[in-house]
Structure 1
Amino acid sequence: MARRGSVGHAVAGIGRGLLWLVLIVLAAVLGVVIWARATSTPQTSGAVTLGGLSGPATVTRDQWGVPHIRAASDEDAVYALGYVHWQDRAWQMDFQRRVVAGRLSEVLGEPALAQDKFLRTWGFQGAAESVLPALSERSRSLVRAYTAGVNAAMARGKVAPEFRILGYTPEPWQEVDSVSWSKLMAYDLGGNMDDEVLNTRVMQRLGQQGLDEVTAPYPADGPTILSGDELAKTGVRPDGQENTATLTDSALNALRAHLNAARELGLQAVPGKGSNDWVIGGSRTASGKPILADDPHLALTSPMLWYLADIQGPTLKAIGASIPGLPAIVIGRNERVAWGVTNTNPDVQDLYIEPADASFTQRQETIRVKGGEDVTLTVRTSKHGPVVSDAGASDVGPRVALKWTALQPGDTTMDAFMGLNYAQNWEDFKTALTRYVAPSQNFVYADVDGNTGYYSPGRVPIRDGWDGSLPVSGDGSREWTGYIPFGGLPHTYNPADGLVVTANNKVVPDSYAYNLGNERNWAEPYRAARITELLTAKPDGLTVQDVKAVQLDTVSLVWQDMKDALLATQPDGDLSRQALELLRGWDGNERIDAVAPTIFEAWLMGLQKMAQDELGNGTTLNSLSVLKQLQADGELCRDEAAKIQNCAATLTASLKTAVDDLSARLGTDPSAWTYGKLHHVASNHRAFGNVKALAWLFNHSAPTNGGTNTVNVARPEQGTFNQTHGPSYRQIIDLSDPNKSVYIGSLGQGGNPLGAHVSDQQPLWIAGEYLPMSTDEKDWGAVKTLTLTPGK
Structure 2
Amino acid sequence: MIFLRLLKWSALGLGGLLVICLLVLAGTLFWLRGSLPQTEGEVQVASPVGDVEILRDAQGLVTIRAESHADAIYGLGYAHAQDRLAQMELMRRLGTGRIAEVVGRMGMRGDRLFRQLEFARLSQAAIEHLEPETLAVLESYAAGVNGFLDSHSGPLPPEFLLAGKPEPWEPWHSVLWGKLMALQLSGNWREELQNARLATRLSAQEMTELFPEQPADAPATFTEAMRLAAAPPSLLEALPQAWQARRGASNAWALSGEHTQSGAPLLANDPHLGLSAPGTWYLARLETPEGVWAGATAPGVPGVVIGHNGHAAWGFTTTHSDTQDLVIERLVEGDPNHYQTPDGPRTFDTWEEEIAVRGSDTEVVTFRKGRFGPVVSQGEADVLGRDVALTLAWPALQEEDTSADGLVRLNQARTPADFEAASARFVAPQQNIFFATTEGQIAFSAPALVPIRDGYDGSLPVEGSEREAIWTGFIPRADLPQTVDPPGGRLVNANNRPVEPDYPYLLGTRWPEPYRAQRIESVLEEAENADAEAMAALQMDEVSLMARDLLPILLAGEADDTLSAEARAMLGAWDGTMNWSRPEPLILWAWLDVLHEALFAPKLGPLYGELRRLEPRAVKGILERDDGSWCQARATDCSALLEQTLQQALDGLEVTNGEELRALRWGDPHQVRIAHFLLGRIPLLGDLLALELATGGDDYTVNRASPSRDPASRFRQVHGPGLRAVFDLADLEASRFSLLPGQSGNPFSRHFDDLAAAWRDGETVQLVAPAQAERRRLVLTPAADSSSEE
Shared fold by TM > 0.5? yes
1:397 matched to 2:392? The reply is no
Other-structure match for 1:19: none
Number of aligned residue pairs: give it.
731
SS at match of 2:753: coil
**2:283–2:767 contact (8 Å) kept in structure 1:** no
1:269 matched to 2:261? The reply is no
**2:51–2:781 contact (8 Å) kept in structure 1:** yes
Other-structure match for 1:300: 275
SS at match of 1:351: strand
Other-structure match for 2:423: 433
Give 1:130 deviation, angstroms: 2.2
SS at match of 1:701: strand
Q: Deviations over 1:669-708 (max 9, x none)?
A: 2121111211111233333433323312543321111112
The residue identity in structure 1 corresponding to 2:435 is: Y
Q: CA, structure 1 residues 592+116, in 2 after alignment: closer, same or farther (shift >3 Å)?
A: same
The residue identity in structure 2 corresponding to 1:596 is: E
Distance 1:359 1:348 in 2: 26
Other-structure match for 1:282: 257
Other-structure match for 1:542: 530
Distance 1:173 1:639 in 2: 60
Give 1:157 deviation, angstroms: 3.3
Other-structure match for 1:786: 778
1:342 matched to 2:335? The reply is no
The residue identity in structure 1 corresponding to 2:137 is: L
Q: CA, structure 1 residues 393+299, in 2 after alignment: closer, same or farther (shift >3 Å)?
A: closer
Give 1:771 deviation, angstroms: 0.3
The residue identity in structure 2 corresponding to 1:785 is: R
**2:381–2:389 contact (8 Å) kept in structure 1:** no
Match of 1:638 among 631, 639, 645: 631
Give 1:27 deviation, angstroms: 11
Distance 2:163 2:414 in 1: 47
Other-structure match for 1:626: 619
Q: Deviations over 1:83-104 (max 9, x none)?
A: 0001001111101111111111
Distance 2:390 2:241 in 1: 24
TM-score (norm. length: structure 1): 0.88
Other-structure match for 2:178: 182
Q: Deviations over 1:449-496 (max 9, x none)?
A: 111111111111112332111111113255211111221111111112
Match of 1:96 among 91, 99, 113: 91
1:215 matched to 2:211? The reply is yes
Other-structure match for 1:244: none
1:612 matched to 2:601? The reply is yes
Structure 1 residues 124-163: aligned runs within 5 Å: 124-155=119-150, 156-163=152-159
SS at match of 1:696: helix
Other-structure match for 2:222: 226
Give 1:782 deviation, angstroms: 1.3
Q: CA, structure 1 residues 591+29, in 2 after alignment: closer, same or farther (shift >3 Å)?
A: farther
Distance 2:455 2:290 in 1: 47
Q: Deviations over 1:396-436 (max 9, x none)?
A: 51211110111122111111111111112111111111101
**2:430–2:447 contact (8 Å) kept in structure 1:** yes
**1:127–1:409 contact (8 Å) kept in structure 2:** yes
Distance 1:188 1:462 in 2: 22
Other-structure match for 1:696: 687
**1:553–1:711 contact (8 Å) kept in structure 2:** yes
Structure 1 residues 49-198: aligned runs within 5 Å: 49-155=44-150, 156-166=152-162, 168-198=164-194
Q: Deviations over 1:230-255 (max 9, x none)?
A: 1254566698xxxxxxxxxxxxxxxx
Give 1:573 deviation, angstroms: 5.0
Distance 1:334 1:105 in 2: 40
Distance 2:207 2:538 in 1: 34
Q: Deviations over 1:536-570 (max 9, x none)?
A: 013x2111121112111000100111011222344
Other-structure match for 2:788: none
Q: Deviations over 1:476-525 (max 9, x none)?
A: 2552111112211111111120100011101111232222112x1x1111
SS at match of 2:327: strand
Match of 1:657 among 648, 651, 671: 648
Distance 1:81 1:448 in 2: 26
SS at match of 1:675: coil
SS at match of 2:135: helix
Q: Deviations over 1:21-69 (max 9, x none)?
A: xxxxx99994586235532111011110001111111111122111111
Give 1:605 deviation, angstroms: 2.3
**2:563–2:658 contact (8 Å) kept in structure 1:** no
Q: Deviations over 1:196-219 (max 9, x none)?
A: 112222333212112112222112
**2:738–2:762 contact (8 Å) kept in structure 1:** no
Match of 2:449 among 454, 459, 473: 459
**1:279–1:499 contact (8 Å) kept in structure 2:** yes
**2:350–2:366 contact (8 Å) kept in structure 1:** yes
Structure 1 residues 32-47: aligned runs within 5 Å: 34-35=29-30, 38-47=33-42
Q: CA, structure 1 residues 697+95, in 2 after alignment: closer, same or farther (shift >3 Å)?
A: farther
Other-structure match for 1:752: 746
Distance 2:210 2:367 in 1: 34
Q: Deviations over 1:752-781 (max 9, x none)?
A: 11212111111111111100133x545x97
Other-structure match for 2:485: 494
Distance 2:513 2:686 in 1: 34
**1:36–1:754 contact (8 Å) kept in structure 2:** no
1:597 matched to 2:585? The reply is yes
**2:381–2:388 contact (8 Å) kept in structure 1:** no
1:741 matched to 2:735? The reply is yes
Distance 1:477 1:236 in 2: 26
Distance 1:299 1:409 in 2: 29
Distance 1:237 1:219 in 2: 21
**2:32–2:157 contact (8 Å) kept in structure 1:** no
Which segment drifts farther, 695-704 or 425-434?
695-704
Distance 2:202 2:298 in 1: 43
Distance 1:129 1:665 in 2: 62
Q: CA, structure 1 residues 560+84, in 2 after alignment: closer, same or farther (shift >3 Å)?
A: same
Which segment drifts farther, 125-134 or 749-758?
125-134
**2:632–2:638 contact (8 Å) kept in structure 1:** no
**1:714–1:723 contact (8 Å) kept in structure 2:** yes
**2:579–2:666 contact (8 Å) kept in structure 1:** yes
**2:251–2:494 contact (8 Å) kept in structure 1:** yes
Give 1:668 deviation, angstroms: 8.6
Q: CA, structure 1 residues 663+176, in 2 after alignment: closer, same or farther (shift >3 Å)?
A: same
The residue identity in structure 2 corresponding to 1:735 is: L
Q: CA, structure 1 residues 95+480, in 2 after alignment: closer, same or farther (shift >3 Å)?
A: same
1:556 matched to 2:544? The reply is yes
Distance 1:93 1:344 in 2: 26
The residue identity in structure 2 corresponding to 1:170 is: P
**1:713–1:727 contact (8 Å) kept in structure 2:** yes
- Identical aligned pairs, as a percentage? 37
CA RMSD of aligned residues (A): 2.5
**1:377–1:391 contact (8 Å) kept in structure 2:** no
Q: CA, structure 1 residues 664+161, in 2 after alignment: closer, same or farther (shift >3 Å)?
A: farther
Distance 1:32 1:479 in 2: 61
Other-structure match for 1:264: none
Q: CA, structure 1 residues 477+573, in 2 after alignment: closer, same or farther (shift >3 Å)?
A: farther
SS at match of 1:162: coil
The residue identity in structure 1 corresponding to 2:534 is: D
The residue identity in structure 2 corresponding to 1:398 is: V
SS at match of 2:364: strand
Give 1:346 deviation, angstroms: 1.2
**2:50–2:67 contact (8 Å) kept in structure 1:** yes
The residue identity in structure 2 corresponding to 1:81 is: L
Q: CA, structure 1 residues 171+449, in 2 after alignment: closer, same or farther (shift >3 Å)?
A: same
Other-structure match for 2:336: none
Which segment drifts farther, 566-575 or 291-300?
566-575
